[in-house]
Chain A
Amino acid sequence: MKVFAHGFMALAAFVIVLPILVVCASALNGGRSMLFPPQDPTLTRFAEFFLHEPVWRNALVNSVIIAFGSAALAVLIAWPVAYGVWKRRSAASKLLAGLGAMPFALPPIVFGVGLGFMWGFSGGLGEIWSGVISHAVLFMALPLVTISIGLQSIDRAHLDAAATMGATPAATFRTIILPQMVPYTLSGFFFALVLSFNEFIVMFFVSASGYATVTLQIFNSLRNGFTPTMAVAAITFIVVSVIVFSAVARFGDLPRLMGADPSRK
């Protein structure tokens, strides 16, 4: 059984890694074609992506601005919503959280179309700031979940003890709740950051060709076929994702964040 388990997991990992490896290796192609295995291996495409081609550099800057901006905003909105559910446990708070998570749970293309209309009416279509807000709303569900998990892990006896000793709600929040919530908040931030970095369809409708993120730029370039420079973008994204999630795993309890039983080791 153990052999079967390991074999099955290895096979699954192989299939998952296969297209990623192929894309990464294709970045080394000397020519303009995406051949696998790569021909005339070179690192020129990396220099093109990061230094020489303004189209890719601008797209990368836009991706970074939108990812960081939207992740921060998502956390800022998710915090009071999750806190409200935890503190009040009322139907209204739960409804608010449910509405906040709705864009993530429904087909993203529908939300993208709706946001496109909304920004069209309010003058935000094709603006970076509306892209930031759009992704913040789309990915708010992620910090909402991680912050809620964190709040549930707070021992209410600590809060009662603080209250008995005369601590104001603000002091209790500052000295007990907030320090315990840092890893959960950061995890939510990073989840939103990485998914925003890679998101395509909502950004496609919201940007309205006013600007391009890296994924949009790749999609726009598809008309001329895949090129090895695009593959450099893929490598960048994978490296960022691995670093971010490794950091989350290193500094937080990743299995617990993903829903594992906290009491089991």
Chain B
Amino acid sequence: MSAVDPPSLASSGTSGRSRRSIMRPDLFQTVLWVLILTLCVVPFVLVIVISFGQKIEGAAWAFGFTGANYQRFFVGASWPESTTFLYLTRLWYSVYYAVIAAALAVLTAFPFTWFMTRMSRAAQSRWLVFLLATLSLSEVFIVMGWDILLSNRSGLPMVLRETGVTDWLKVTGWFDVLREWGMANPRNVKFKTSEFATILTMSYLVWPYAVILLYPALSRLDPSMTEAARTMGAGPWTVMRTVVLPSVRLPLIGTLFLLFVFLLGVYVSVTVFAEPAKQTLAVSVYEAVRGSTLNAPFGAAQAVILLITGGICLWLGQILVNRKGVTA
């Protein structure tokens, strides 16, 4: 590992050995840079470059420099004769689901993490094992679980029917409201397909991430601050509002934005739980690159839009964090 020693350590003397040790770090660093740039940056660059390419009818696609894919994304392929906002609508749903699911995850994960960090170190370890095990579960398994739980044959609709909640909803008029929201059929409550099921699954997917991301900030919060506030007569909610929340607002904002960016690309939950008309950009990226339409440049253009959306959000988050940091 001396290969990554700083040059200053190896630069004294002019013997052959010293010269070799000067050369090696440079060579190793160059190899490392080439490796990282090739593997981490080139895939993103390729997506951007190919997004300007064009589909060749009856064949694959070719490199090019056309903005047709972006035009199709924003106003449709036949613009100006006709205009369609199909893909903008899909982008809207990507953002809409991601914002609500991320906010829901952070809102519920915050009190959980707070309570967890007040426990003993051993108890925290056990909770962390539990959370990490659930965090590592594939989206496919999570969707599988919720699919059973929300299916009309078994799961929650059946529980609601058997416990009489469905009848109660019908008597009170709430059943008609649920039908208007697309969450009930003439006989019973239904969750598939619905925005509710989509957002619930997405939120579930990132919930352990939310806890893991909030954990460092909350566990490092100085207990003497909250103790001082309590000694001065502040109740638990006042302490939370005036001491804890202001202290961790930056990690809170950061977590919210990171989860949002992650959720922009969620695929399985959306394909299983969202109605076709309310599916996201991730689904149409898949359709274009690997699915039915096979138009790699257009798929790449949509991926770039997704990337830009994520980038803008992270940038806005950074600005927000910096501004709050300055005023804090």
List residues of chain A with CB under 8 Å of any chain B CB.
1, 5-6, 8-9, 12-13, 15-20, 22-23, 26, 34-36, 77, 79-81, 83-84, 87-88, 96, 99-100, 102-103, 105-111, 113-118, 121, 133, 137, 140, 169-170, 173, 191, 194-195, 197-201, 204-205, 208, 215, 218-219, 222, 226, 230-231, 233-234, 237-238, 241-242, 245-246, 248-249, 254-255, 258-261, 264-265
A110 near B47: Cβ-Cβ < 8 Å: yes
- Expressed in whole angstroms, the minimum distance between the Cβ of A33 and any Cβ of chain B is 9
| In the complex, the 10 A-B pairs of residues with the closest C-beta atoms, listed nearest first | A19-B145, A259-B216, A114-B43, A107-B265, A109-B265, A198-B138, A241-B133, A260-B219, A5-B115, A194-B136
B168 on the interface (CB 8 Å rule)?
Answer: no
Q: A12-B112, A20-B145 are in contact. Are A249 and B267 (CB under 8 A)?
A: no
Q: How far is the CA of A222 from the CA of B271 in the complex (A)?
A: 11
A9: B residues at CB distance < 8 A? 112, 115-116
CB-defined contacts of B5 to chain A, threshold 8 Å: 87, 169
**Contacts A80-B32, A199-B138, A255-B219 hold; do A113 and B299 have CB atoms under 8 A apart?**
yes
Instruction: Give me 22 A-to-B residue pairs in the complex whose CB atoms sit less than 8 angstroms apart, sorted by A's number.
Output: A6-B115, A8-B111, A9-B115, A17-B134, A20-B137, A96-B32, A103-B40, A105-B258, A106-B44, A106-B310, A107-B306, A109-B306, A110-B310, A113-B285, A113-B289, A114-B43, A114-B303, A173-B1, A215-B140, A226-B148, A245-B132, A248-B129
Q: Complex: how many Å from CA A15 to CA B130?
A: 13
B299 / chain A contacts, CB cutoff of 8 Å? 113
In the bound assembly, the distance between CA atoms of A191 and B137 in angstroms comes to: 12
Within the assembled complex, what's the spacing in Å between the Cα atoms of A13 and B208? Answer: 11
Contact across chains for A242 and B37 when beta carbons are under 8 A apart: no
Q: Is the CB of A20 within 8 A of B307?
A: no
* Contact partner, B39, options A133, A234, A242, Cβ 8 Å: A133
With an 8 Å Cβ cutoff, the count of chain B residues facing the other chain is 91
On chain A, the residues within 8 Å of B6 by CB distance are 87-88
Please, which residues of chain A bring their CB within 8 A of the CB of B155?
A: 22, 36
CB distance from A159 to the nearest CB of B (A): 11
Chain A positions within 8 Å of B35 at CB level: 77
Verify A99–B44 contact, CB threshold 8 A.
Answer: no
| Chain B at the A interface: SS class | helix
Does the CB pair A255–B128 fall under 8 Å?
Answer: yes
Q: Which residues does chain B contribute within 8 Å of A234, judged by CB atoms?
A: 137, 141, 144-145
If A107-B261, A107-B264, A238-B133 touch, whether A245 touches B300 (CB-CB below 8 Å) is no
17 further A-B pairs in the complex, CB-CB below 8 A; given A113-B289, A116-B290: A22-B149, A79-B1, A80-B3, A84-B4, A84-B29, A110-B265, A113-B43, A117-B300, A198-B136, A198-B141, A200-B140, A201-B139, A218-B140, A233-B141, A234-B145, A241-B136, A245-B129
Asked whether, in the complex, the Cβ of B207 is within 8 Å of the Cβ of A102, the reply is: no
Report yes or no: B121 in contact with A26, Cβ–Cβ below 8 A: no
A93 to chain B, nearest CB (A): 9
Within 8 A of A (CB), among B1-55: 1-6, 9, 28-29, 32-33, 35-37, 39-47, 50
Residues of A within 8 A of B112 (CB): 8-9, 12
**Do A117 and B1 touch across chains, with their CB atoms under 8 A apart?**
no
The chain B residue sitting closest to A221, CB to CB, is B140
Shortest CB distance A157–B (Å): 18
Please name all residues of chain A whose beta carbon is closer than 8 Å to the beta carbon of B173 when the two chains form the complex. Answer: none
Within 125-176 of B, Cβ neighbours of A (below 8 Å) are at 125-126, 128-134, 136-142, 144-149, 153-155
Please measure, in the bound complex, the distance between the C-alpha atom of A111 and the C-alpha atom of B48, giving whole angstroms.
Answer: 11
Known: A102-B41, A103-B40, A242-B133. A226 touches B154 (CB 8 A): no
* Contact A106 B261, beta carbon cutoff 8 Å: yes
A110 touches B145 (CB 8 A): no
Please state if A255 and B121 are interface contacts (CB–CB under 8 Å): yes
Q: How far is the CB of A170 from chain B (nearest CB, A)?
A: 5
